[in-house]
Homo-oligomer: A and B are copies of this chain.
Amino acid sequence: MGASKIDHFSPEHVEMSAIMKALGHPARLAILEHLLKVDSCVCGDIVDVIPLSQPTISQHLKELKTVALIKGTVEGNSVCYCLNENIIEKLFTYIGNIKSTLVAKSSYC
């Protein structure tokens, strides 16, 4: 096969894993942090900052957009990208739940 059998898993697992997967590439984490660092959302400069070609960056941005980790709004000639706080929050909450359940549990091996 090759494709993951996502129909066998819960919607929450499918959604969360898609978000994690989108963050599962150093370039996409670098894009995320760049968007965080830069004050304005004007974002053609991502290509200048990250050592990958313009088409590749565009593709990575698309993947981040697909899971709604970022939003992009057209602004004249260029496109302004910025982070979507909601999705980051969702991810934070999910990991936080795992963490606290784990701490409460304290059965190790």
Contacts and interface: CB of A to CB of B under 8 A. Distances in A.
Contacts of A8: 26, 50-52
Interface of A is mostly: helix
Contacts of A39: 105, 107
Contacts of A28: 17
Interface in A14-72: 14, 16-18, 20-30, 32-33, 36, 39-41, 50-52, 71
Given A22-B24, A91-B95, 20 more contacts: A5-B52, A6-B26, A8-B50, A9-B30, A13-B33, A16-B29, A17-B23, A18-B24, A20-B21, A21-B25, A23-B24, A32-B98, A33-B98, A36-B98, A39-B107, A82-B107, A83-B98, A88-B95, A88-B99, A88-B102
